């Protein structure tokens, strides 16, 4: 029994130890270069009012991200908030990108435009109006209409998540007066 235990330990040392050493070396190189997973975004204000309806999927996702940082309160009333995120425009558009030889649509360009600013309740702007435009291409096939509609919904959802991350990054760099 001891001989087989020694054999399995020797087998482990000869086969797994070099792999373990390589993984440890790679991890030490990643930490040495300053790599770190992106954590919650710290916002420079204590409370915010989000000028989007509760039923808005974009507003809901943005509220979840702000709550995730644990430091900023979302206020139900604009007068009670330190800053107000004011939505100035949100549009989704679909443009024809290319046609096939029969003149039928082959590819669309999905466009998501969002415009917002950050101010306090007396009108002082902390973030001038910001325009964010996201685009995604989607191929189209008239024999797969339902599948392509579902793909379009997924692409818009992906753009919405990307948009929330961009808004959070812009909010994080706002300079507040103390």
Average pLDDT over residues 137-163: 91
pLDDT category at 4 given cuts 50, 70, 90 is: low
Residue that wins the pLDDT comparison between 13 and 116: 116
Domain boundaries, the chain: 2-32, 47-172
pLDDT band at 141 (very low <50, low <70, confident <90, very high): confident
pLDDT for the residue 54: 87
DSSP string, 87-112: EEEEEEEEEEEEE-TTS-EEEEEEEE
Give the residue-averaged pLDDT of 164-176.
92
pLDDT tens for each residue of 37-72? 555 668 889 999 999 998 999 999 999 999 998 789
DSSP β-bridge partners for residue 109: 95, 137
pLDDT digit string, tens, across residues 79-134:
999 999 999 999 999 999 998 989 888 999 999 999 999 999 888 999 999 999 99
pTM: 0.73
SS3 144: helix
pLDDT score, position 70 = 78
pLDDT at 34: 61
Q: How far is CA 37 from CA 86, 112, 150, in A?
A: 30, 27, 31
Q: Are 176 and 45 in contact (CB under 8 A)?
A: yes
> Distance between CA 105 and CA 91 in Å, rounded?
22
Domain 47-172 fold: Double Stranded RNA Binding Domain (3.30.160)
Q: Report the helix count and the strand count for the chain, using DSSP H and E.
A: 4, 5
What are the residues facing 138 on neighbouring strands?
108
pLDDT in tens, 16-36: 767 777 777 777 776 666 655
Alpha carbon of residue 164 to chain centroid: 5
DSSP 8-class letter at 37: -
């Amino acid at each position: 029994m001891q001989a087989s235990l020694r054999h399995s330990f020797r087998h482990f040392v000869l086969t797994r130890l070099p792999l373990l050493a390589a993984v440890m070396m790679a991890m030490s190189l990643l930490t040495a270069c300053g790599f770190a997973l992106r954590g919650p975004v710290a916002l420079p204000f204590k409370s915010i009012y989000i000028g989007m309806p509760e039923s808005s999927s974009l507003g809901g996702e943005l509220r979840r991200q702000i709550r995730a940082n644990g430091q900023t309160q979302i206020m139900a009333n604009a007068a009670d908030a330190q800053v107000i995120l004011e939505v100035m425009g949100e549009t989704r558009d679909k443009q024809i990108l290319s046609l096939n030889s029969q003149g039928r649509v082959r590819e669309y360009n999905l466009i998501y435009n969002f415009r917002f600013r950050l101010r306090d309740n007396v009108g002082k702007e902390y973030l001038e109006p910001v325009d964010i435009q996201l685009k995604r291409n989607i191929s189209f096939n008239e024999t797969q209409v339902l599948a392509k509609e579902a793909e379009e919904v997924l692409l818009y959802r992906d753009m919405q998540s990307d948009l929330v991350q961009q808004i959070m990054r812009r909010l994080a760099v706002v300079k507040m007066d103390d």
